[in-house]
Amino acid sequence: MIYDWVFAVHEHVAFTAFDTETTGLKAEEDRIIEIGAVTFDRKGIIARFSTLIFPDRAIPPDVSKINHITDDMLVNKPRFCEIVSDFSRFIKGTVLVAHNANFDVEFLNAELSLCKKQPLSHKVVDTYAMAQAVFPGLGRHQYRLQNLALQFGLTVHAAHRAEDDARVCMELFTTMIAHHAKQNGHCVNHAQSPTIKKLIQEIQASSTDCSQELF
């Protein structure tokens, strides 16, 4: 379920930004080799989660060139089914945040199925869709995580590594909210979505300090 980010923020819930690295692009064929996640709320980071995962197959060379994860790095690492309980506990009760969330959710659900577990039932905020709503009209490539991070001056330490991408996703999420909350000294919404506009108006009516109220 892709979750409207305004609902999520307005409810003051805890979030978990997460990212996966995989052996390829097809969830029905490829496997997760790394998960990184950071749980946070309005006050800041609560906890971090990061693990490499043994995929029971070799990593294609073109994939290793992108994420710099090699087969040698995965020797003696746990399989997904060995870490699924820990990860499930880590994200319990939080709204998930991911960039191009459908990709990561599909891979997680495929892995959960292999472990004979139920698919994710969490609400999910997609920062890719959020950026498209808040900043319509950018070129397609400008909505990539690293390009948005550059636009907002966010530091990227290790692109295409799950732990750092999860942190950047969290910072992008909070930065986009704060950016619009502080426009012209009050809550200004540039999104085209009628739902987002309506909810922003409701938030404006309930608080004159929107940056504090939102996040």
Which are the catalytic amino acids? 160
The answer to whether the CB of 211 falls within 8 A of the CB of 181 is: yes
29 is in an annotated binding site: no
How many C-alpha atoms does 177 have within 13 Å on its Cβ side? 23
67 is in an annotated binding site: yes
**DSSP secondary structure of the chain:** -B--HHHHHHTT--EEEEEEEESSS-TTT--EEEEEEEEEETTEEEEEEEEE---SSPPPHHHHHHH---HHHHTTPPPHHHHHHHHHHHHTT-EEEETTHHHHHHHHHHHHHHTT-PPP-S-EEEHHHHHHHHSTT--GGGGSHHHHHHHHT---SSTT-HHHHHHHHHHHHHHHHHHHHTGGGS-------HHHHHHHHHHHHH-S-HHHHH-
62 is in an annotated binding site: yes
User: Cβ–Cβ contacts within 10 Å for residue 68, how many?
Assistant: 13
Query: Known binding site for a divalent metal cation: residues?
Result: 19, 21, 165
Query: Known binding site: residues?
Result: 19, 21, 62, 67, 165
